[in-house]
Structure 1
Amino acid sequence: MRLTVFWQRMAEHFGAGSAETFARDHVMSELGGHTVHEALSEGWAAKDVWHVVCTVMNVPQERR
């Protein structure tokens, strides 16, 4: 998954402004105690981060 697709999906689910806030502020144990931004910066694949976000935030199957 390309980062552009990842951020598009984040914006579609959370809204443009809220996606950025969530990615910056929400720490998830499933990401090793990191935020989305931190996980991506540390080399996590966007696809894997998106999978974690979907699981933790109960993103509907049709949006995954």
Structure 2
Amino acid sequence: MKQTVFLAPDIECGGCASAIQKALGKVEGISDVKVDIAAKTVAVAHDLVLVSVEAIVTRLEHAGFPAVAQ
């Protein structure tokens, strides 16, 4: 498993965190998602074979949270 941290500046509240958890939580290859509202980051533990960093960025964008890997 690899952990990647994404900066998502549009995170503002618990509702945002819930939306991100929902968007990423059931993706095959992602084992953990932690949203830090204050830091506006999303830490994702994932298997690089099953889900790439680019695929996670795409999922976040589709959920309304443009993000970049740090």
For the criterion TM > 0.5, the same-fold answer is no
Query: Given the two structures, how large is their TM-score scaled by the length of structure 1?
Result: 0.41
Larger strand share, 1 or 2:
2
